Structure 1
Amino acid sequence: MPALRDVHSEGDSRRLALDRAGVKGLRYPICVLDRARGVQHTVAEIEMSVSVPHKRKGAHMSRFVELLNRHRREIDIRKFRGLCAELRRDHDADAAHVQVRFPYFIEKKAPVTGAVGLLDYFCTFGASVTRDDYDLWVALEVPVTTLCPCSKAISAHGAHNQRSLVAVRVWFEKFFWIEDLIALVEESASCDLYALLKRPDEKYVTERAWERPRFVEDLVREVGTRLRRDPNFTRWEVEAESFESIHAHSAYAALKHP
């Protein structure tokens, strides 16, 4: 068979380098580390890109999927930098970027009865690699309960509470378990969520939230305080949104360090 023309490798006369070119919205089955079971199978939405010099028309799109297929059974924080570096080499690019977002399930026991249910948390691994530097981070979305301190203080018969969503992104020095970061966030809230609760459990979570009221600002500061105590996290960002039960809008707060 005669050689086929490779248009992507041909020159471009406009002399404009591209910061990123690649694929996004790619859904793929992957395996991630699970502290309880060793490995967890899930489905990720993936974004992969590389820089393109001004003299080259574009990126080789098939190489993104080829790389993913080679590594889909070992999507691991410890290997993620290497995966991104391999992507850069495959394209002979100055920079490469990878983001993998997936639901991560944890088996949680109800606090009193021990009834078991699965709760999902969205997790994202992100990496950027250049010829002489790299950036590696992990992000989590953790749903929790918050109870309003003001409502508690002024009401004789209860306080409004709501589900809130905490988004945390961390940069780190060494490996850590996703479960530990989830626990850090949940411990900062009025109460954490459960997939399954019986009546004794419902009583417990109601009273626990009552004893630990949090404004959305409190929630972000509590998470930040716990992150600040851990020297493994060199940089972090925290956002929280409370889906207010007495308003049609949300309450919001954010914090980052440094």
Structure 2
Amino acid sequence: MNVTATDVHYAYPSFSVQLSRVGIKGIKRTITQKRGDEFDILRVVLDVSVDLPVEMKGVHMSRNVEAVDDIVENMIGNDISNIEDFCIELAKALLERHEYATFADVTLETDYTLEKETVKSHRPSQSNYKLTAGASIFKDKGKVATRKRIGVEVPSFMVCPCAQELMKTHCADQLEHLGLDIGMVEKITDIIPMASHGQRGISRLIVETDGDDQIVEARALIDIIERSVSAPTFELMKREDEIETIIRGHRNPQFVEDAVREILRNFLLEFSELPDSTHLEVYQENLESIHSHNVFSEKNCTLGELREQLQFNGG
């Protein structure tokens, strides 16, 4: 006698509410991304989820892993050109397997390595970053909307402008006590970078766009951040690189708030053609050196909201 087990997932729940997201976290896979003649082998960590209607007890979790494996398998010999498209294809596969779902979301995280030249000695070296990507697909009354996102987390060198101003005033007082006239004091304090307390910064920029909008390259986002902070960091530093980085940082002191504003400004200049619906998440955290706490600043907005605010403020 054959007995067919009841599929408990389709049982009516004891408390009937729709759940926004149900899924699996931490699926690890290896994918290949092609950039022109270059290939990036990425060890990725995936979070995948769908929504659950009111009449169902649970999601078929195994279907999530099946969707991941099918998409990864299909990539063999067909390397992707960008990881956002990989996330979109995976989100589509989730919706196909979960016929009851109207929403699917994929989040991908991986380490990302770029070749860089040291700032002064021009030696080749590698710098490591964190890369995130994702996609969300919504179904509503026969219509489908797709959103994709790409983001980076970048280490940065930050210098406190408040402490630097205090040190400038202190040095000026000491030089005046030595008998130097005010004109010479001003020349010295302008020429010599004033001391301050430095911080390791954590800078994050995530961009979300419609599925058919232009591709936003992770490398461009890294470049935007490194142009927006006091100074970029490097794995390799010879003496001339170290002094150049310190001078650059102290010539460009910034509050944690300044870094967020500069990232927003440089993103607008770089990607001015992106539509108002583009969503930005900018986050800066400074690991304080002379305090026992850290500080942070962030901005979440659409490009439309940012442009409207700048227009209102005359920016």
TM above 0.5, yes or no, is yes
Q: Secondary structure at the match of 1:5?
A: coil
CA distance in structure 2 between the aligned counterparts of 1:121 and 1:4, rounded to whole angstroms? 51
Is the CA contact (8 Å cut-off) linking 2:47 and 2:107 kept in structure 1? Answer: yes
Q: Secondary structure at the match of 1:208?
A: helix
- 5+ residue gaps, structure 2, are 172-193, 306-315
Which residue, out of 70, 94, 97, partners 1:90?
97
- Matched residue, 2:242: 202
- Matched residue, 2:174: none
Within the alignment, does 1:41 sit opposite 2:41 as a pair?
A: yes
Superposition deviation, residue 38 in structure 1: 2.6
Q: Secondary structure at the match of 2:257?
A: helix
Within the alignment, does 1:111 sit opposite 2:119 as a pair?
A: yes
Q: What letter matches 1:23 in structure 2?
A: I
Q: What letter matches 2:262 in structure 1?
A: E
Superposition deviation, residue 9 in structure 1: 4.6
Q: What letter matches 1:227 in structure 2?
A: F
Is the CA contact (8 Å cut-off) linking 1:98 and 1:128 kept in structure 2? Answer: yes
Larger radius of gyration: 2
Which residue, out of 196, 199, 224, partners 1:159?
196
Q: Secondary structure at the match of 2:121?
A: coil
Q: Secondary structure at the match of 1:56?
A: coil
Judging by fraction of residues, say which structure has more helix: 2
Is the CA contact (8 Å cut-off) linking 2:13 and 2:56 kept in structure 1? Answer: no
- Matched residue, 1:185: 225
Cα RMSD after superposing both structures: 2.2
Superposition deviation, residue 18 in structure 1: 2.5
Give the % identical residues: 27
Is the CA contact (8 Å cut-off) linking 2:32 and 2:40 kept in structure 1? Answer: yes
Q: What letter matches 2:29 in structure 1?
A: Y
CA distance in structure 1 between the aligned counterparts of 2:92 and 2:23, rounded to whole angstroms? 15
Q: Give runs of aligned pairs for residues 123-138 of structure 1, distance below 5 A.
A: 123-131=131-139, 132-138=144-150
CA distance in structure 2 between the aligned counterparts of 1:20 and 1:90, rounded to whole angstroms? 15
- Matched residue, 1:218: 258
- 5+ residue gaps, structure 1, are none
Q: Secondary structure at the match of 1:133?
A: strand
State the TM-score, normalizing by the size of structure 2.
Answer: 0.75
Superposition deviation, residue 3 in structure 1: 8.2
Going from structure 1 to structure 2, the CA distance change for 1:110 and 1:253 (only over 3 Å counts) comes to same
Higher mean C-alpha displacement, 160-169 vs 61-70: 61-70
Within the alignment, does 1:246 sit opposite 2:290 as a pair?
A: yes
Is the CA contact (8 Å cut-off) linking 1:8 and 1:59 kept in structure 2? Answer: no
Q: Give runs of aligned pairs for residues 220-239 of structure 1, distance below 5 A.
A: 220-229=260-269, 230-231=271-272, 232=274, 234-239=278-283
Deviations 1:112-138 (CA, angstroms, capped at 9, x unpaired): 222222222111112211113232212
Is the CA contact (8 Å cut-off) linking 1:146 and 1:164 kept in structure 2? Answer: yes
Going from structure 1 to structure 2, the CA distance change for 1:80 and 1:26 (only over 3 Å counts) comes to closer
- Matched residue, 1:12: 12
The runs of at least 4 consecutive aligned structure 1 residues that moved more than 4 Å come to none
- Matched residue, 1:67: 67
Is the CA contact (8 Å cut-off) linking 2:256 and 2:297 kept in structure 1? Answer: yes
Judging by fraction of residues, say which structure has more strand: 1
State the TM-score, normalizing by the size of structure 1.
Answer: 0.90
Superposition deviation, residue 16 in structure 1: 3.1
Matched pairs, number = 257
Superposition deviation, residue 68 in structure 1: 1.5
- Matched residue, 2:28: 27
CA distance in structure 1 between the aligned counterparts of 2:8 and 2:116, rounded to whole angstroms? 49
CA distance in structure 1 between the aligned counterparts of 2:157 and 2:243, rounded to whole angstroms? 14
